[in-house]
Structure 1
Amino acid sequence: MRRALPSLAAITLLTTALTAGSAAASRTGSYDSYVALGDSYTSGTLIPNVINLPCFRSDHNYPSLVTAKLAPRSFTDVSCGGAATPDMTSSQLQSGNPPQFNALKPDTDLVTVGIGGNDIPFGEIVNNCGARGAFVPHGSPCKDFYTGGGKDELAAKVRAVGPKVGKVLDGIRQRSPQAEIVLVGYPAVMPDSGANCWPLIPISDGDAPYLRDITKLLNTVLAEQAAAHDATFADTYTSSIGHDICQPPGIKWIEGILPTSPAGPVHPNAAGTDDQARQVLAALTAARS
């Protein structure tokens, strides 16, 4: 018995160490199967190297960077430029991308999704506000257009995105019940200060704070949906303040109408996707702490 006691103690210590090591691994997170869903702010529009031209999908988008860090056993990225919430369950006509939910499996254990901007739709805002502000440095022609009837129609469209995104999150959970789900927000496009940079970006000085607030409202709506549907929200707005579309090359993370680095107009560049990846990883760490 005296000789057996040290062995028993050693076994106990070894078991304790293994258990602690297993718990530590669980906290830091290891994933077998990662699926990325989303629109052009996820696909990394026109950032080198483009690996899927119909979807403008880059191998330097934030899902690819997250994968490089987490090293899951399998990684599937079906994000696609122009995608909206209906494209989760239906084929995307302009790109031929199959329903994005087809990528989800019962054993998928990590899903990131960035969606909602094209349900407003984002492109309409850019074109409408840019056209109205092109020859109007002062005033608020875009805001006046959306609020002219006494109701903020654009804000109403943003709020209407909420239930649609909620259904997306529920759909992910139904198909991948064990998955950790991260809903990724949108970065600061216009200066958070409310400033503008007309005519470089043809947004009137009265419209700049209005559009800033619309982006903040969209992120608030997305964060609310994440909280209500058992998902984690990754805030990419706060970290991108000071790196908006009005900043000079090397500082801006959102390209302008005429990009100065490889990226889609009014979309994140490579530095922007780097930050998106950092915020996704930070959100995963916070969710497990």
Structure 2
Amino acid sequence: MRRSRLVRLALGAAAALGVTFGLGSPAFAAASDRYVALGDSYASGVGADNYTSEGGACLRSNNAYPALYNAGVKPAAYRSVACSGATTADVINSQLSALSSSTTLVSVTIGGNDIGFTSIMTTCVLSGESDCIAAINTAEAKVRNELPAKLAAVYSGIRSRSPSARVVVVGYPVFYQLGTVCVGLSANSRAKINEGIDLLDDTTRTAAAAAGFRFADVRSIFVGHQLCSYGDKWLHALNFVSLTVSYHPTAAGQSGGYYPTFRTAAG
């Protein structure tokens, strides 16, 4: 009885201090994991530098969240086939083949290119507020009417190839902190871009839940590190010298935002 009471007291004290005894569990489970990363440029690590030679035009970075997970957790096997510019069709046609029945952990970030991410940001930067808002309205219609079925097809393919895997669907950060002094796009354009990203993330979260997958939402952790914020920026602003990296996470955004969010969800 006395020992049982001491155990209860210890557990209560740990809870009060914010200690979670289960913190060791993800590392233990991950030791035998066979992990495959799928997705687009946010998963491959465009903008985070330190690109791998094998990644080629896919621009896979050693600073991307999948690579950071591999380095930090050291699963039994790891492979990233994430690729810059990938759409849901690309995942289905070119990336799902990396999965197998022995895969135990899968991450996927996808959907932005299906709604024309690059074209939207180009329009917003070069064509002014009215064209920007019109482009986002068109993209939002695609998110509502087309994207759920496309995501469902990706998720079904993942589950078919890796029926026992834990699957984590990782979202996108909202680009702008609003209400600050900020040069460049108009306040209305920035707000509309944020609205579109929120709709994309919310739609993806709903689709992930319908598939029985976990959704890793990076929006809150990026607050204070967005463009137009006063903190350290975790996103590249428009870069005319290297347009590819524009609006993508920096290495700090991958390590400080994406990696901890994914690691928690992957546990």
Amino acid at match of 2:46: T
**Separation in structure 1 between the aligned mates of residue 266 and residue 79 of structure 2, nearest angstrom:** 18
Contact 2:47 2:248 in 1 (8 A): no
Deviation at 1:32, TM superposition (A): 2.6
Cα distance in 1 for residues equivalent to 2:227 and 2:46:
16
How many Å separate the matches in 2 of 1:112 and 1:222? 13
Instruction: State the match for 2:108 in structure 1.
Output: 113
The equivalent residue for 2:251 is 270
Alignment partners' CA distance in 1, 2:126 and 2:181: 15
Q: Which of residues 164, 187, 200 is equivalent to 2:150?
A: 164
- The aligned counterpart of 2:62 is 59
State the match for 1:186 in structure 2: 172
Assess, with a 3 A threshold, how the Cα gap between structure 1 residues 259 and 269 changes in structure 2: closer, same or farther: farther
- Give aligned pairs, total: 241
Which residue is equivalent to 2:42? 41
Deviations 1:122-153 (A, max 9, x none): 001111111123xxxxx65421x348xxxx42
- Alignment-derived partner of residue 175 in structure 1: 161
Deviations 1:68-117 (A, max 9, x none): 23211110000000000001232xxxxxxxx1111101100000000000
Map 1:125-274 to 2 at 5 A: 125-133=120-128, 140-143=130-133, 145-146=134-135, 152-159=137-144, 160-191=146-177, 193=178, 197-199=182-184, 203-247=185-229, 251-258=232-239, 264-274=245-255
CA contact 1:190–1:196 (8 Å) conserved in 2: no
Contact 1:189 1:254 in 2 (8 A): yes
Percent of aligned positions that are identical? 37
Aligned to 1:100: 95
Distance 1:194 1:163, change over 3 A: farther
Aligned residue for 1:243, secondary structure, equals coil
Q: Could you tell me how far 1:174 is from its partner in structure 2?
A: 0.1
Compute the displacement of 1:25 (Å). Answer: 4.3
| 1:84 partner letter | T
What stretches of structure 1 of length at least 5 have no aligned partner? 1-23, 91-98, 134-138
- Name the SS for the 1:255 alignment partner: coil
Deviation at 1:190, TM superposition (A): 1.7
* Counterpart residue identity of residue 123, structure 2: N
Distance of 2:111 and 2:82 partners within structure 1: 13
Amino acid at match of 2:166: E
Residue 51 of structure 2 aligns with which residue? 50
1:282 equivalent in alignment to 2:255: no
**Deviation string, structure 1 residues 162-206 (Cα, Å, up to 9, x no partner):** 221111111000000010000000012122x3657232xxx2221
Residues in 2 aligned to 1:196 and 1:75: alpha-carbon distance in whole angstroms: 43
Distance 2:148 2:209 in 1: 12
The offset of 1:45, in angstroms, is 1.0
8 Å CA contact 1:195–1:208 kept in 2: the answer is: no
| Counterpart AA for 2:264 | A
Structure 1 vs Structure 2 CA RMSD: 2.6
Q: Which residue does the alignment assign to 1:29?
A: 29
Following TM superposition, by how much is the alpha carbon of 1:35 offset from its aligned partner in structure 2, in angstroms?
0.1
Larger Rg: 1
Secondary structure of residue in 2 paired with 1:112: strand
User: Tell me, what secondary structure is at the counterpart of 1:206?
Assistant: helix
Secondary structure of 1:82's partner?
A: coil
